[in-house]
């Protein structure tokens, strides 16, 4: 445009490679992402050519055919040949664009024969990852502390270099493996995307959608939720760690062992410390987004600290968690261990000191 | 042209009654335009609130909930409160003048269609102060998120109902006026292009406003009457809403673009002192865009996930719209070619429109490519794209229209110096604000977030500075209008633009309260048509 003076342009061009992360696509790590980058470049060249041509003509007219230069208007109008040409030529250009694009669309949609399938569930405001072939699942939440985000006092803050793009537990996938992602959601629509993979798929409650990627290099790749999903939409990043196949199998085996341990014996009596420790994690994963980490609630979401339910009879507390009430959703999907731990945690932390505890066995009984 | 009209004392109604009881198309047009201006500033202040929070990473000013409310209300107010009423207002003021009709066809319905707007706007503004705050699900109101919102969402739903009813009535009025009340000798294919684009726009609105009303009504019953249209848990379908919404939403885009095309097609011939190059092909292109706008809606939903065939169909249809749009741009440029151009403020805005709307068209073409859209969807690239189309497109055309017709409305000339300053200031500030957003989008910054990762800092800071400058420039605009209403830089003649030929320039400036109560003589109509090259007299 007109205001881009040459000096400014040169300075910008010179600084472009160094600042690529700020102004253009992330470096592609899948074949599709490379295709998308190439398509974009190809289309930008076409656009640039049309732009120069069409606006060259216009600015020539603006500079030369002006009254202040004494130019007389020629009252010509309508010319069928020209009009047919300027309809047909753009049409041909579009066909030239559409052909290579169609191939990429079909490739992008081809989710057959995956080497690994992962279910991604969006939830306000975190991602649940389930490795369906390995019976391993975990939640992935923003790791940037709130103290770096809330800056209402305007004081200078030292922010981590991966501010808002870091999670407590990233998705881990093997390199050179076709990973099929199934998306769905527990509440509102989210969208799971990793720009370096050219993958973006809405996670919609009631639907299972799929997409895929084959990462061709190891590393950590970052994206964000890209569909407005409420208050903390900005704070649910997607982090994918691509590792070697060996490293992946070591990791998944270790993960399986960890999760086996938790769910081993349904009749095992947990110690208070175990319940509290596990309960804190379950609480942060599932409850804190509404009731807040400190249990004080926010706006329409009631406080747990000192609440009648969290300090009243434990059976009532358990019933609310299992069955829900009004805006409070039911949580039967949580395991017996999770529910026992979180109920115990809510009654003995967050400012509450009821002193009792719940065992997984009791939860199992209550489910009957 | 003096004439004892039958409803004599309308002219003598003064004070608030003149406006509340208004049935005169010029009064109602003025009301519409003032309302749109007020809403433009309301929505604009919200936009500045958004930019303020995005000036730096971290949350400095607003809680995320409130930020989402600002984003939502900014969208709703600008689309339904500023741009659409502004075009309806222009159509009200200018259509009867341009086609030689004494007034709009349904004067009282016209009054009602305007007076539905202020309550709707009030609902939107009040909703900020109800428990839970205003709607915060974005102007697209996607459920299930919109089902979670507090009563602010209900306010927004009712506001949309009112705005929809108003639009439908306004559209019916435009259709009937244009089809039935043209001066003798002015056949459809001899109307000024602004009448054509208003007509097609009105048809689009009549077709899609009820669709939107249906969608938000279903939201309302899902929220309060336990229906499950969009609730997956009850067997409903959240994606259904998106299909319905965008079946409205995409024609809506053209509802905001077509009248702009019409305005620019009036301004450019005037200041090139040449007839429009291809009038008939412009009309066909307008119709083609109108029809095709119903076949592309799912390009807003590529990331929802749909069969490859559907994706290809919507992609190809979207690309195809570039053809008639291109025809329009080529026509404007061919009109400028070999003209005798002068660059008064309306012309500057028209040329600015052609340049920047084309940039928006190009980014639209990029977005139409489904695999690229996967990268860009819901990022700042989309924000850049639709602001190029709606601000540099619709809004710039409106600025051009106001400067173009201000002498006719007020009887005075506005300050050309201030007008040009307003143009250049807006043009530069607009590009500082929105051009960097293309880069932000390419780099992957999602839209509708109050806080962002550190690599997006520089461009966001730049965009915020640009937006503040853009906001300031609009104060200049208001000052220039007020100055003009109060006498401006002198009286305007009936036709202050020597290249203008349409009928509105045949009546005095300011336009008398009642015009064309006798239709213009065929000789007058013909003279205008010959000058527009709509009569057979080819070079």
Catalytic one of B26, B51, B250, B387:
B250
Say whether pLDDT at A3 is over 50.
no
B250 catalytically annotated = yes
Q: At A298, is the secondary structure helix, strand, or coil? A: strand
Instruction: Give span(s): CATH 1.10.760.10, chain A.
Output: 272-367
Whole-angstrom Cα distance, residue B204 to residue B198? 10
Name the band, by pLDDT with cuts 50, 70 and 90, for residue B4. Answer: very low
Report yes or no: A156 at the B interface, CB cutoff 8 Å.
no
**H or E stretch covering A224:** strand A219-224
Cα angle B22, B25, B29; round to 5 = 90
Q: Which one of A45, A70, A75, A77 would you mutate to disrupt binding with B, by most B Cβ within 10 Å of its Cβ?
A: A77
B113 catalytically annotated = no
Report yes or no: A135 at the B interface, CB cutoff 8 Å.
no
Position B537 scores a pLDDT of: 52
Name the band, by pLDDT with cuts 50, 70 and 90, for residue B529. Answer: confident
**Domain A272-367 classification at class level:** mainly alpha
Task: Work out the percent of chain B whose per-residue pLDDT is above 90.
Answer: 88
Q: CB B145 to CB A21 under 8 A?
A: no
Report yes or no: A59 at the B interface, CB cutoff 8 Å.
no
B67 catalytically annotated = no
Position A330 scores a pLDDT of: 79
Contact B430, B470 (CB under 8 A): yes
Segment B199-219 shows an average pLDDT of: 96
Say whether pLDDT at B472 is over 70.
yes
Residue linked to tokens 């175990």: A274
Q: A101 versus B527: which is more confidently predicted?
A: A101
Position A11 scores a pLDDT of: 67
Say whether pLDDT at A232 is over 50.
yes
Task: Work out the percent of chain B whose per-residue pLDDT is above 70.
Answer: 97
Name the band, by pLDDT with cuts 50, 70 and 90, for residue A13. Answer: low
Report yes or no: A94 at the B interface, CB cutoff 8 Å.
yes
Report yes or no: A7 at the B interface, CB cutoff 8 Å.
no
Say whether pLDDT at A9 is over 80.
no
The CATH number for A116-145+164-262, chosen from 2.40.50.100, 3.40.640.10, 2.60.40.420, 3.40.50.450, is 2.60.40.420
Name the band, by pLDDT with cuts 50, 70 and 90, for residue A261. Answer: confident
- Find the closest chain B residue to A149 by CA distance: B58
Q: A352 versus B201: which is more confidently predicted?
A: B201
Position B1 scores a pLDDT of: 42
- Find the closest chain A residue to B142 by CA distance: A189
Say whether pLDDT at A127 is over 90.
yes
How close, in Å, is residue A214 to chain B by CA atoms? 16
The CATH number for A23-109, chosen from 1.10.287.90, 3.40.630.30, 3.20.20.330, 1.10.10.10, is 1.10.287.90
How close, in Å, is residue B314 to chain A by CA atoms? 12
Catalytic one of B27, B53, B103, B344:
B103
Q: CB A105 to CB B308 under 8 A?
A: yes
Name the band, by pLDDT with cuts 50, 70 and 90, for residue B410. Answer: very high
Contact A35, A107 (CB under 8 A): yes
Report yes or no: A51 at the B interface, CB cutoff 8 Å.
yes
Say whether pLDDT at A252 is over 90.
yes
Please report whether residue B212 resides in a domain: yes
Contact B381, B244 (CB under 8 A): no
Please report whether residue B11 resides in a domain: no
Please report whether residue B538 resides in a domain: no
**H or E stretch covering B180:** helix B151-180
Catalytic one of B32, B93, B139, B516:
B139
Whole-angstrom Cα distance, residue B385 to residue B441? 10
Report yes or no: A153 at the B interface, CB cutoff 8 Å.
no
Say whether pLDDT at A4 is over 60.
no
Contact B332, B354 (CB under 8 A): yes
Position A298 scores a pLDDT of: 76
Alpha-carbon Rg for chain A, nearest whole angstrom, is 28
Contact B503, B527 (CB under 8 A): no
- Find the closest chain A residue to B135 by CA distance: A230
Digit-coded pLDDT (tens) for A266-319: 778 888 888 898 898 889 888 887 888 888 887 777 889 888 888 889 988 998
Digit-coded pLDDT (tens) for A194-224: 999 999 999 999 999 999 999 999 999 999 9
B224 catalytically annotated = no
Note the ipTM here. Answer: 0.90
Q: CB A58 to CB B354 under 8 A?
A: yes
Nearest by CB: B58 against A2, A157, A201 = A157
Position A2 scores a pLDDT of: 43
Q: CB B450 to CB A234 under 8 A?
A: yes
The range of the structural domain enclosing residue B348 comes to: 29-531
Position B92 scores a pLDDT of: 96
Torsion of CA B330, B334, B335, B339, to 10 degrees: 150
A-chain residues near B281 (CB < 8 A) = 78, 83
Segment B245-267 shows an average pLDDT of: 96
Say whether pLDDT at A6 is over 60.
no
Segment B470-474 shows an average pLDDT of: 96
Nearest to B54 by CA among A263, A180, A60, A151: A151
Please report whether residue B262 resides in a domain: yes
B74 catalytically annotated = yes
Report yes or no: A163 at the B interface, CB cutoff 8 Å.
yes
Average pLDDT, chain B: 93
Nearest to A87 by CA among B330, B475, B294: B330
Position B8 scores a pLDDT of: 47
Position A1 scores a pLDDT of: 41
Round to the nearest angstrom and report the end-to-end CA distance of chain B. 34
Position A18 scores a pLDDT of: 66
Say whether pLDDT at B3 is over 60.
no
B438 catalytically annotated = no
CATH of the domain at B295: 1.20.210.10
Please report whether residue B289 resides in a domain: yes
Say whether pLDDT at A110 is over 50.
yes
Please report whether residue B10 resides in a domain: no
Indicate the angle between helix axes B25-53 and B107-115, nearest 10 degrees. 20
Catalytic one of B25, B26, B51, B74:
B74
- Find the closest chain A residue to B429 by CA distance: A3
Whole-angstrom Cα distance, residue B144 to residue B399? 38
SS3 of B185-205: the string is CCCHHHCCHHHHHHHHHHHHH
Instruction: Give span(s): CATH 1.10.287.90, chain A.
Output: 23-109
Say whether pLDDT at A264 is over 80.
no
- Find the closest chain B residue to A60 by CA distance: B337
Task: Work out the percent of chain A whose per-residue pLDDT is above 70.
Answer: 93
Q: CB B358 to CB A54 under 8 A?
A: yes
Say whether pLDDT at B538 is over 60.
no
Segment B296-301 shows an average pLDDT of: 95
The total number of structural domains in chain B stands at: 1
């Amino acid at each position: 445009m007109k205001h881009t003076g040459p000096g400014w342009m040169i300075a910008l061009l010179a600084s472009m490679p160094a600042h690529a992360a700020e102004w253009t696509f992330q470096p592609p790590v899948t074949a599709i992402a490379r295709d998308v980058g190439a398509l974009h470049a190809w289309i930008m060249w076409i656009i640039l050519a049309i732009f120069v041509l069409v606006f060259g003509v216009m600015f020539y007219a603006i500079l030369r055919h002006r009254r202040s230069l004494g130019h007389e208007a020629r009252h010509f109008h309508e010319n069928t040949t020209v009009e047919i040409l300027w309809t047909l030529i753009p049409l041909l250009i579009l066909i030239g664009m559409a052909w290579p694009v169609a191939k990429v669309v079909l490739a992008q949609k081809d989710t057959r024969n995956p080497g690994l399938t992962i279910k991604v569930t969006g939830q306000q405001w975190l991602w649940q990852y389930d490795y369906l072939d390995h019976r391993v699942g975990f939640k992935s939440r923003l790791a940037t502390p709130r103290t770096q985000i809330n800056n209402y006092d305007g004081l200078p803050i030292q922010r981590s270099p991966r501010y808002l793009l870091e999670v407590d537990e990233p998705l881990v996938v093997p390199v050179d493996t076709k990973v099929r992602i199934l998306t769905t959601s527990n509440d509102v629509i989210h969208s799971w995307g990793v720009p370096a993979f050219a993958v973006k798929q809405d996670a919609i409650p009631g639907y299972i959608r799929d997409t895929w990627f084959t990462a061709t290099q190891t590393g950590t790749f970052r994206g964000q939720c890209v569909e407005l999903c409420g208050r903390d939409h900005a704070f649910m990043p997607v982090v994918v760690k691509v590792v070697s196949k060996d490293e992946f199998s070591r990791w998944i085996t270790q993960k399986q062992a960890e999760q086996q341990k938790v769910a081993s014996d349904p009749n095992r009596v947990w110690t208070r410390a175990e319940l509290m420790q596990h309960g804190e994690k379950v609480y942060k994963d599932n409850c804190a987004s509404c009731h807040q980490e400190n249990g004080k609630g926010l706006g329409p979401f009631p406080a747990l600290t000192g609440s009648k339910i969290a300090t009243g009879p434990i059976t009532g507390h358990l019933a609310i968690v299992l069955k829900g009430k009004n805006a409070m959703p039911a949580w039967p999907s949580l395991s017996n261990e999770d529910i026992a731990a979180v109920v115990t945690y809510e009654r003995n932390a967050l400012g509450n000191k009821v002193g009792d505890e719940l065992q997984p066995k009791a939860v199992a009984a209550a489910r009957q | 042209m003096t004439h004892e009209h039958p409803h004599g004392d309308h002219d003598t109604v003064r004070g608030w009654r003149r406006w509340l009881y208004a049935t005169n198309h010029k009064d109602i047009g003025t009301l519409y335009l003032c309302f749109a201006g007020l809403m433009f500033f309301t929505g604009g202040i919200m936009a500045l609130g958004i930019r303020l929070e995005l000036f730096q990473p971290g949350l400095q000013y607003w809680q995320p909930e409130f930020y989402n409310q600002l984003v939502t209300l900014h969208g709703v107010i600008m689309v339904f409160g500023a741009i659409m009423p502004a075009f309806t207002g222009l159509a009200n003021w200018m259509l009867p003048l341009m086609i030689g009709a004494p007034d709009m066809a349904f004067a009282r319905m016209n009054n009602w269609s305007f007076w539905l707007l202020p309550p709707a706007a009030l609902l939107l503004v009040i909703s900020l102060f109800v428990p839970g705050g205003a709607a915060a699900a974005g102007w697209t109101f996607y459920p299930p998120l919109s089902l979670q919102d507090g009563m602010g969402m209900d306010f927004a739903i009712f506001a949309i109902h009112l705005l929809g009813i108003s639009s439908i009535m306004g559209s019916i009025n435009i259709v009937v006026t244009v089809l039935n009340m043209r001066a003798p000798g002015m056949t459809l294919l001899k109307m000024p292009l602004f009448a054509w684009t208003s007509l097609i726009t009105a048809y689009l609105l009549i077709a899609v406003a009820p669709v939107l009303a249906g969608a938000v009504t279903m939201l309302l019953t899902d929220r309060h009457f336990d229906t499950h249209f969009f609730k997956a848990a009850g067997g409903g379908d959240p994606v259904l809403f998106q299909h319905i919404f965008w079946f409205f939403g995409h024609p809506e885009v053209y509802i905001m673009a077509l009248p702009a095309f019409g305005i620019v097609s009036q301004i450019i011939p005037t200041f090139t002192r040449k007839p429009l190059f291809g009038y008939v092909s412009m009309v066909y292109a307008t119709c083609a865009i109108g029809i095709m706008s119903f076949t592309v809606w799912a390009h807003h939903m590529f990331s929802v996930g749909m069969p490859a065939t559907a994706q290809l169909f919507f992609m190809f249809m979207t690309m195809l719209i570039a053809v008639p749009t291109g025809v329009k741009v080529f026509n404007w440029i061919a009109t400028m070619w070999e003209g005798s151009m002068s660059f008064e403020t309306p012309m500057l805005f028209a040329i600015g429109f052609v340049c920047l709307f084309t940039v928006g068209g190009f980014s639209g073409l990029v977005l139409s490519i489904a695999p690229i859209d996967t990268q860009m969807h819901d990022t700042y690239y989309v924000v850049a794209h639709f602001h190029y189309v709606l601000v540099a497109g619709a809004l710039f055309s409106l600025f051009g229209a106001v400067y173009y017709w201000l002498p006719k409305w007020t009887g005075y000339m506005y300050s050309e110096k201030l007008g040009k300053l307003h143009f250049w200031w807006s043009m530069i500030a607009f590009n500082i604000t929105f051009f960097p957003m293309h880069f932000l989008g390419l780099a992957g910054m999602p839209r509708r977030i109050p806080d962002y990762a550190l690599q997006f800092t520089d461009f966001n800071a730049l965009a915020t500075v640009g937006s503040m400058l853009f906001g300031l420039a609009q104060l200049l605009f208001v000052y220039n209008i007020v100055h003009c209403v109060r006498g401006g830089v002198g009286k305007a003649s009936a036709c202050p633009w020597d290249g203008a030929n349409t009928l509105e320039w045949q009546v005095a400036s300011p336009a008398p309260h009642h015009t064309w109560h006798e239709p213009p003589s065929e000789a007058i109509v013909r003279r205008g048509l010959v000058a527009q090259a709509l009569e057979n007299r080819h070079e």
